[in-house]
């Protein structure tokens, strides 16, 4: 029996095959409120795309049994990238074909087989990059290539038939506003969290006795469920707005952006403070002692030695905070803060899954993009320190 050389890839291929055979590639529903009838890949996407997917899948399967090498991993990465884009094209084609001649109310949604195929193809790309030992530059290149492919496909109207695109088309203006509002909520909370949390973290690093009470409070805040915290803030902020009319004029109130920002800042504090303290504490005491002994001022030691050496850990904290804030800001729509959560809760209320996805997918992509950018930054920094 032949030996499986790449078990990760093998698992991905098998999972994809199973999903394509068992589950629907797209769902067909007569209107947006009922759930769709699953339609298999070969029925939905037509001959050429199905053959293409099968061919690429077969080649990737063959690679599982080939002895590893740089060329093989590069080929795996390229094929998986093409497969990912082809799956997207197939979904778009399926939607346009099925929608052709049907009533305008008909909705073509993405099915389980699509999600599994796309996820497996993406993971196969990641696996290839990992096996190649790719550095930050190669990873950025791969992500840019896939991103550019998706953008080109979208601009060419490939996805226009899909229900999620139909939801988008009817909310184009709202969507743009929502995504900007979402980013503003994140930036508006992460900024203050850094301004408050960084000095607090520095103080905790300098005076270990502070760490007990500071972390006790921040940990407790972190355990409050987000909806509960939003709710808890309604009363005090409403009271504050009544007491100080100038604040009310600025938009502060029990609901809306103000309580959302306050809650997001409170949640962001723990990671910021913890990573600041940990980052500064990780700087070798001998290095600081030597700096002092040579006549660097405290300011010079901080700016030239402690801060740059702590930076990778600080960036890791920032990464956690931003990704967390992007997710929590979705929930903030409940108290009228706007953002992508608006679509999620509107969709939940109407039982319209595609509308939920219109809010959830961009939020996920924002989080992934932020995570990727900050991870790349800290990888570059670590490479330069390499100690």
Partner 1 sequence: MIEIDRVTKSYGDRRVVDSLSVTVGAGELCVLLGSSGCGKSTTLRMINRLIPTDAGSIRVGGEDVTRVPAEALRRRIGYAIQSIGLFPHWTVEDNIATVPRLLKWRLAQVRERVTELLELFRLDPETYRRKYPHQLSGGEQQRVGVARALAADPEVLLMDEPFAAVDPITRDALQVELAHIHRATGKTIVFVTHDIEEALRLATVIAIMDSGRIVQLGAPLDILEHPANDFVRDFVGHQGLGLKLLSVRRIGDRLRRGETTEGEPLSLDASLADALSAMTARRADRLPVCDAEGRRIGVIALADLVR
Residues that bind partner 1 (CB under 8 A): 284, 286-297, 300, 304-305, 308-309, 384-387
Q: For the chain, list the strands marked E by DSSP.
A: 26-29, 37-39, 107-110
Q: Among residues 266 and 280, whose Cβ is nearest to partner 1? A: 280
Please give the DSSP secondary-structure letter assigned to residue 362: H
Q: Closest distance between partner 1 and the C-beta of residue 292, in Å?
A: 6
Give, to the nearest 10 degrees, the angle between helix 307-331 and helix 353-385.
Answer: 180
Distances (CA, A) of 207 to 76, 142, 280, 286, 382: 52, 44, 12, 18, 27
Cα–Cα distance, 14 to 8 (Å, whole number): 10
Q: Closest distance between partner 1 and the C-beta of residue 204, in Å?
A: 23
Q: Which residues pair with 110 in a beta bridge?
A: 26
What's the longest Cα–Cα distance across the chain? 81
Q: Among residues 216 and 284, whose Cβ is nearest to partner 1? A: 284
Q: Closest distance between partner 1 and the C-beta of residue 287, in Å?
A: 5
Q: Closest distance between partner 1 and the C-beta of residue 381, in Å?
A: 9
Q: Closest distance between partner 1 and the C-beta of residue 280, in Å?
A: 15
75 phi and psi angles, rounded to 5 deg: -65, -40
Query: What's the alpha-carbon Rg for the chain, to the nearest Å?
Result: 25
Residue 136 tokens, joined: 């930050």
Coil/strand/helix, residue 325:
helix
Q: Closest distance between partner 1 and the C-beta of residue 174, in Å?
A: 47
Q: Among residues 17 and 278, whose Cβ is nearest to partner 1? A: 278
Q: Closest distance between partner 1 and the C-beta of residue 119, in Å?
A: 39
Place of tokens 């070969």: 42
Report which of 23, 60, 61, 58 is spatially closest to residue 42, judged by C-alpha positions.
Answer: 23
For residues 49 and 90, the answer to whether their CB atoms sit within 8 Å is: yes
CA 128, 17, 158, 137: dihedral to nearest 10 degrees? Answer: -10
Q: Among residues 310 and 337, whose Cβ is nearest to partner 1? A: 310
Q: Among residues 225 and 293, whose Cβ is nearest to partner 1? A: 293
Please give the DSSP secondary-structure letter assigned to residue 224: S
Q: Among residues 79 and 288, whose Cβ is nearest to partner 1? A: 288
Q: Among residues 31 and 300, whose Cβ is nearest to partner 1? A: 300
Q: Closest distance between partner 1 and the C-beta of residue 139, in Å?
A: 23
Q: Among residues 171 and 292, whose Cβ is nearest to partner 1? A: 292
């Amino acid at each position: 029996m032949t030996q499986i050389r790449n078990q990760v890839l093998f698992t991905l291929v098998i999972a994809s095959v199973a999903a394509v055979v068992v589950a629907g590639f797209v769902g067909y529903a007569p209107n947006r409120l009922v759930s769709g009838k699953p339609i298999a890949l070969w029925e939905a996407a037509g001959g050429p795309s199905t053959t293409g997917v099968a061919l690429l899948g077969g080649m990737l399967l063959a690679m599982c049994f080939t002895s590893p090498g740089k060329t093989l991993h590069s080929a795996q990465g390229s094929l998986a990238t093409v497969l990912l884009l082809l799956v997207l094209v197939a979904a778009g084609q399926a939607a346009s074909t099925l929608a052709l001649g049907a009533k305008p109310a008909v909705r073509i949604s993405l099915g389980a087989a699509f999600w599994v195929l796309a996820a497996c193809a993406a993971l196969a790309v990641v696996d290839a990059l990992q096996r190649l030992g790719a550095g930050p530059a190669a990873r950025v290149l791969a992500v840019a290539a896939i991103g550019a492919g998706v953008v080109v496909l979208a601009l060419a109207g490939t996805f226009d038939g899909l229900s999620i695109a139909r939801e988008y088309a009817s909310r184009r203006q709202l969507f743009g506003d929502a995504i900007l509002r979402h980013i503003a909520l994140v930036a508006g909370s992460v900024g203050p969290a850094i301004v408050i949390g960084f000095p607090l973290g520095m103080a905790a690093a300098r005076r270990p006795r502070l760490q007990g009470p500071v972390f006790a409070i921040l940990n407790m805040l972190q355990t409050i469920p987000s909806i509960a915290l939003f709710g808890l803030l309604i009363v005090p902020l409403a009271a504050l707005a009544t007491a100080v009319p100038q604040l009310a004029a600025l938009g502060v109130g029990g609901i809306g952006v103000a309580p959302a920002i306050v809650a997001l800042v409170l949640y962001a504090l723990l990671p910021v403070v913890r990573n600041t303290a940990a980052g500064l504490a990780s700087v070798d005491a001998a290095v600081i002692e030597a700096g002092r002994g040579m006549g660097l001022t405290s300011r010079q030691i901080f700016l030239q030695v402690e801060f740059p050496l702590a930076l990778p850990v600080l960036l890791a904290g920032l990464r956690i905070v931003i990704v967390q804030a992007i997710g929590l800001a979705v929930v903030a729509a409940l108290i009228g803060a706007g953002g992508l959560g608006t679509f999620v809760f509107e969709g939940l209320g109407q039982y319209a899954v595609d509308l939920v996805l219109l809010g959830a997918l961009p939020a996920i992509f924002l989080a992934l993009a932020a995570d990727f950018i900050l991870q790349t930054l800290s990888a570059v920094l670590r490479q330069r320190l390499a100690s």
